[in-house]
Amino acid sequence: MSLFIPNLITPTSRNQIKKSMSDRSTKSPESLSTSPKLANPLISSSRTLSNSDTSSSSSTPTAENTNKKSSFNLFDSILQRSVTKPLTINTSTHHDITQQKKFPTPSLSSSISNTQLPEQARCLHSYNAIKEDEICVHKGEYVQIVAANQDNRWFVHRDANRTSPAAEGWIPGFVLGLKNPNSTIHHNLSPSPPPPPTSSSSQQQPTSSLSANSLHRLTTTTSTTHHPTITYESTLPPKPQTSTCDKRLSGVLRYCGPELNISVHERNIFLGQSLILQGHVIGNPRPAIVWQHPHGHTLVDDDTTIHTHYGDDGTIYLQIRCVSMQDAGIYECIATSPQGTISQQIPVQVKDSNDHHKLEQVRWSPRYRPNEYREVNEIARGRHSIVRQCIHISTGDVCAVKLISKKLISHERALHEYALVSSIRHDSIIRVFHFIETNSFSIIISELISGGRLFDYLCLQSIIIEHNIAKYMRQLLDGLNYLHNCKIVHLDIQPENLLINIEYDQIKLCDFGDSIRLSNMKYIHRMSGNIEFAAPELINGNIPVHYKTDIWSFGVILYTLLSGLSPFLDETDEQTCANIINIDYNFPESQFPYAFQSAKELIQTIFVREPSNRPSASECLMNEWFHHAGQYQISTTNLNNFIERRKILSEKS
């Protein structure tokens, strides 16, 4: 038996709400009574945001079967399995490893003939794949054009490079500077890379019309009338401004890769002294920082021997107290963001105070390699990644190994996820240990969570006690409060990303693939996939995210745990988005009795349109519901239906 991890929106919960009431008993004061309702029965309930199948990128490390053993090498068999299969969790001791989903090929009926297309084009923008049939490309890279369709999507071949294997797939036309297949921009298309531009070349003049400012709106549509159409604002960086004032005002969308400045002269310290490394980093979005020890492990602030600092002004700082001989070698500081990665190495020598002879420097090699792990069983599978339970052969340590396909997710994006999580430590947040890179995969080694997903664990019981829900929600808020104090926003809080360690009765927040470290420069997040738990600013598409974007998602989680229903879900994606934007929800009396009055008031303070008007995580923790939640028993019937509904529709997607 195989349980699919749900990831797309499906319409039943809102109907349950409507059927359970004769009229709305409560409605948010911000709800707009004139909001349009689309009720076309011919519109398909398939939850997609584009003309290609979309499934969740959430790949969460869980362990539901620890008895299965596998003697074959984990990484020798990776390429035999497709990473584009819908995400599943195996609950049996056997699973089919031969099923593969073939890469989609361009349809001849909807594509422009190859004879009408140029042979090669240069990418004007970097692009990270957000759909199953897309590939990642980098700015300045040349791709071979195979076909194009009427939605201005281009099927291209990308040659192998030093970080990624060769790949074929779709990319949007704006990446190539193309507005539609029938009106190509010839200066960007050529059978071979053009020579460097000169100021006197008249052929380069059209380039000025290709600035991201001209691409002010991208519209994502589906290929048939059976799918809803949702319009999103572009999150591309605008054309650079000329004046300092304009640059300051346009800071919302001015993205740039990280720049790192650390003095790289050799450090010589004596045994027992403190090692101090400091520098400065800039970039938008705010880069994540990783300090690597010469022995290969990541240095994390432990309040004893290691102290790290990352200031609002970009100042970074590492201190190791009371160094030993083992602390000598080459340290590395890595700054990474979705816009790129940069690193610097700093040689350090440790001398004995009684012996001033120079110690030999040894360049470290990674302590953990792919062939040092043995697979126990596969935990989960998604369109971007695979998660497997593994054992380190030398130490016997059990861990979760997340393999992220380089064809779909860039190395920089995967490294950014690792860098963010490795820099923090909290009981409610999953821990990561190592990052490994192969020709085909970026690999994150993390702790293995014994209980699986929180929602699945709760549904093993026939009832849930209100007090237990309050306990788990308090743990989640503790984790969010810690994240936000670290200036990190998660941006993908949903049931699939909440795990539970049953040994300690402790939840764990995982999957930081969409997370970002906020800075003074505002950041607009390009949302893809699941909209059921998304805040209005994410649905809108042109409003910067906020720490309290996570609080909205927390409110949806709380509502669902108390009732088993989804507050904003409707018949179509368009209706669901309209409900979220208009704050259109209710509290059915059968699911929200008077005993939940304090919880209802907390939810009402969260479900407001303006992020700054929502309570912070620390303010939510002070709500009286967390102190007075009682022994009220809640049936898990609706919650089971909630999980089954997401699972079934994920199988159909």
Flag whether pLDDT at 442 surpasses 80.
Answer: yes
Q: In this prediction, what percent of the chain has a pLDDT beyond 70?
A: 64
Asked if 54 and 8 count as a contact pair (C-beta separation under 8 A), the reply is yes
Residue 25 binned pLDDT confidence (cut-offs 50, 70, 90): very low
Task: Check residue 609 and give its pLDDT.
Answer: 94
Q: Which two tokens stand for residue 233?
A: 């604002």
Q: How confident is the model at residue 606 (pLDDT cuts 50, 70, 90)?
A: very high
Name the residue with higher pLDDT: 515 or 202: 515
One-letter amino acid for residue 339 of the chain? Q
| Mean pLDDT lowest among 242-256, 305-319, 419-433, 590-604 | 242-256
pLDDT at 633: 94
- Matching fold, domains 78-102+369-446 and 256-351: no
The residue-averaged pLDDT of 188-192 equals 45
pLDDT bucket at 652, cuts 50 / 70 / 90: low
Note the CATH number of domain 78-102+369-446: 3.30.200.20
Task: Look at 231 and 423; give whichever has higher pLDDT.
Answer: 423
In percent, the amount of the chain with pLDDT more than 90 equals 27
Write the pLDDT tens digit of every residue in 387-417.
899 998 888 889 999 999 988 888 888 999 9
What integer pLDDT is reported at residue 447 of this predicted model?
A: 93
Span of 26-35, 258-267, 600-609, 622-631 with lowest mean pLDDT: 26-35
Among the residue ranges 160-169, 310-319, 624-633, the one predicted with the least confidence is: 160-169
Q: Is residue 370 very low, low, confident or very high in pLDDT (cuts 50, 70, 90)?
A: low
More confident residue, 359 or 486: 486
Among 107-111, 402-406, 432-436, 462-466, the minimum mean pLDDT is found in 107-111
Vertex 538 angle, CA 532 and 543, to 5°:
160
Q: What is the mean pLDDT of residues 354-374?
A: 51
Closest CA to 511 of 559, 574, 446, 467: 446
Domain 2-21+453-652, second-level architecture = Orthogonal Bundle (1.10)
Query: Domain locations in the chain?
Result: 2-21+453-652, 78-102+369-446, 256-351
The contacts of residue 158 (CB under 8 Å, 6+ apart) are 135, 137, 141, 143, 144, 164, 166, 167, 168
pLDDT in tens, 92-126: 333 333 333 334 444 433 444 444 555 788 888 87
**Contact between 517 and 488 (Cβ < 8 Å):** yes
The pTM (predicted TM-score) of the whole model is 0.55
The CATH number fitting domain 256-351, selected from 3.40.190.10, 2.60.40.10, 2.60.40.1930, 1.10.760.10? 2.60.40.10
Closest CA to 536 of 518, 519, 555, 521: 555
Q: Known catalytic residues?
A: 492
Pairing of strands 488-489, 230-233: unpaired
- Helix H, strand E, coil C: the string for 549-582 is HHHHHHHHHHHHHHHCCCCCCCCCHHHHHHHHHC
Q: Pick the residue with more confidence: 294 or 38?
A: 294
CA distance 403 to 381: 10
Asked if residues 66 and 623 have their Cβ atoms less than 8 Å apart, the reply is no
